Amino acid sequence: MQSYQPEYIHNVGIFGHGGCGKTTLTEAMLLVSHATTRMGRVEDGNTVSDYDPDEHRRSMSINLSVVPIEWQERKINLLDAPGYADFMGDMAAAMRVVDGALIVIDASAGVEVGTEMVWEMAVKANIPRMLFINKMDRDNANFFRCIEQARAMLDPAVTPLQIPIGAAANFRGIISLRQQIAFLEGDKHDGSFVEGPVPADLDAQMHEWRTELIDKIAATNDDLIEKYLESGEDALTPEELLQGLRSGIANGSIVPVFCGSALDTGGVAQLLNCIIDSVPSAARTMATAAELDSGDPLVLQPDANGPLAALVFKTIADPYGKMSLFRVYSGTFSANSSVYNHRVGKDERVGHVYTIVGRQTTDVAAIGPGDIGATTKLVEGLTNDTLSSHDHPLRLAPIVFPQVAFTAVVKPHDRSDLDKLGSSLGHMLEEDPTLQISRDAHTGETLLSGLSESHLDVVAERMQRKFSTHVDIDLPRIAYIEGIQVTAEAQYRHKKQSGGAGQFADVTLRVEPLPADVERDDPLEFVNEIVGGVISRGFMPAIEKGVREAMQEGVLAGHPLLNVRVAVFDGKEHPVDSKEIAFKIAGAQAFKLAAHKAQPVINEPIYELEITVPEQFAGDIMGDMNTRRGRVLGMLPAGQGKLTITAHVPLAECQRYVTDLRSLSQARGRFTMKFDHYEQVPQHLTQHLVEHFQHEHNGH
């Protein structure tokens, strides 16, 4: 593939609900542009963009892939993105580096939850949007119903540039409203369309929809609207219509709609022509970077001789290294060169540079501005890094990845996996920035957080396949803590005689609760109130150690007991038999006795959930909160017919909320959660936790 200047490059993301035909459309574009000689099938696992074994097994896209094609002396970089919320990270990455979003809709299913999701992401990314109504040859395909849904659920700016000729088994072509010509099935009967006259029975319908299109185009420009109102639509030249259309698409006042059947390549050639007309070229895409030396913003032109600025938007890791995919916004990214990584403050050595088609790479000398390429073996480079020159360090705006919504404990399956676990998880974090790894300070478990259970299942499979590390994914233990409610005292005497030197220690202490809502570095406030030297000062560290160990074990259900003040105020020692071990034991037992008297309780972590759902689901959500022992704190409008509900919910009741919310809201709900505070567990649940602990502790 030859090198192209920015004005001849179009970066287009293909988005949509899972199963709408994004990957099949990518295959059709490859075939129609003669990049391939046969179409791969998702079901057969032989498509260019779905090359991962995990994708073959599931028959769906779970990774972002780059597929460039050449069309009409232009280069179109297609970014085929996954369609399910479990893999929103790659959607976000694609949205950040494309110049336009082509959102695919199933003609028989209409606007689905994934359609709404990617629409919102594209609006937030402020990129031009287009719709392609696919599968027009399927049963129940209805183009005009899709238009109504898209206008009601996405944006009134949705405007057809094409209308279909027939539907389902009778689908046989499309009409271009701007050009007033038809594209009909040709003699080859291979699904491709050839230019022809508009069928007489559709002439009136064409003019009706064309008038609406011309109204929208004319409204983009004062001169156009004046000319249109004075002389009618025939006075507008094709060039004026095209310029007005491009302006409307760029500012979002027009969302063009195309249609066809990717499986039969029907309408795909016309769609490629429309992409070139509708999606701004890379030459018209300006990026703003921060100059690290001064902190000032710099508007970058896609100039090959400008300062280098490339954003790494995806990392692919394997046992042999990693591949970094990047888009160049300014300058030239050359092989056998050096780039500066602002995040680590170091220069990185660049070896080979590639163009990439799915999983296939081709060595090139350089990647120019506006284009997408890949390089391998960057030592420090990660997704979201800006690669620039050492003499002119820059930082591009990063990709904003979705927040984690599900946390699990990750454990090696057996001893042979233990040594590999750390490095394998490190590679997964390099590859997927939506993952987070942490360690629970209370339970000691290694926690892996992601977007859903399915997301983490895929990560576990990938670790086994790529790095031969077999892990088990399970729900983490709840980090309960114990506490006391009142002040209490207790005395314990430890006396042991077994011939020879014995052990003796007598400790009397007082426990009292400390405020739980005050942050402190140490959960224990230990005080020596001994008067008269009945216990030597040298034994105090041993008593404190015994208390701390007892606090870790708890007194009810084996959970740490925190936020307590312990004062040792009396006791006895023996001149021969008193030893540190004796006072450690006595301190621990005295603490346990006192804590049992101090009305011990179990406290559970309470999380704040912010749940955004369409209004019709708000009642179900609030009802569900009550079943989870949750407290609804408030409800505010979130725009576009949605509400945001804020609630406090025990973590024990919402560990799988990402899955439950999808069921409650037909997958249209979104939520974030964060730790807020601890609260006392209700008495009946406390008893259950105590019985469960005793059952396990006794080995039954």
- Length of the chain as a residue count: 700
Q: Measuring CA to CA, which residue among 241, 184, 252 is closest to residue 217?
A: 241
Give the model's confidence band at 188: pLDDT under 50 very low, under 70 low, under 90 confident, else very high: low
- pLDDT > 60? residue 604: yes
- Higher model confidence: residue 577 or residue 484? 484
CATH match for 481-599 among 3.30.230.10, 3.40.50.150, 1.10.260.40, 3.40.640.10: 3.30.230.10
Q: pLDDT (tens digit, 9 = 90+) per residue, 420-474?
A: 999 999 999 999 999 999 998 878 889 999 999 999 999 999 999 999 999 999 9
- Give the helix/strand (H/E) hosting 694: helix 683-697
- Model pLDDT, residue 42: 85
Helix (H, G, I), strand (E, B) or coil at 248: helix
Residues 69-104 have pLDDT tens digits of 999 999 999 999 998 888 999 999 999 999 999 999
pLDDT in tens, 366-406: 999 999 999 998 999 999 999 999 999 999 999 999 999 99
Asked whether the predicted pLDDT for residue 187 surpasses 80, the reply is: no
Residue 189 has pLDDT above 60, yes or no: no
**Least reliable range by pLDDT among 54-68, 391-405, 468-482, 566-580:** 54-68
Burial of 361 (0-12, 13-18, 19+ CB in 10 A): middle
State the pLDDT at residue 43: 82
Proportion of the chain in helix, strand, coil states, percent, rounded to 5: 30, 35, 35
- Which class for 202: exposed (0-12), middle (13-18), buried (19 or more C-beta within 10 A)? middle
CA separation for the pair 286, 278 (Å, rounded): 17
As given in the structure block, the two tokens for residue 693 are 């602990």
The pLDDT tens digits of the residues spanning 32-46 come to 999 998 898 888 888
Residue 694: pLDDT over 90: no
Residues 6-200+253-284, CATH architecture: 3-Layer(aba) Sandwich (3.40)
CB 451 within 8 A of CB 405: yes
Is residue 331 predicted with pLDDT exceeding 80? yes
pLDDT of residue 150: 97
Query: Confidence band (pLDDT; 50, 70, 90) for 535?
Result: very high
Q: Which of 365, 338, 341, 339 is nearest to 354 (CA)?
A: 365
The 10s digit of each residue's pLDDT in 262-321 is: 999 999 999 999 999 999 999 988 899 999 888 789 999 999 999 999 999 999 988 888
pLDDT value at residue 700: 47
The pLDDT of residue 389: 94
Please indicate whether the domains covering 287-396 and 481-599 agree at the CATH topology level.
no
Q: What is the pLDDT of residue 555?
A: 93
The CATH code of domain 406-474 reads 3.30.70.870
| Section 145-171 average pLDDT | 95
Neighbouring C-alpha atoms within 13 Å toward the C-beta of 358: 18
Domain 604-685 has CATH 2.60.40.2130: no
334 and 310 Cβ atoms separated by less than 8 Å: no
Which CATH architecture describes the domain 287-396? Beta Barrel (2.40)
CA–CA distance, 487 with 185 (Å, rounded to integer)? 87
Which residue ranges make up each domain of the chain? 6-200+253-284, 287-396, 406-474, 481-599, 604-685
pLDDT (0 to 100) of residue 444: 85
- What does pLDDT average to over the chain? 92
pTM of the model as a whole: 0.86
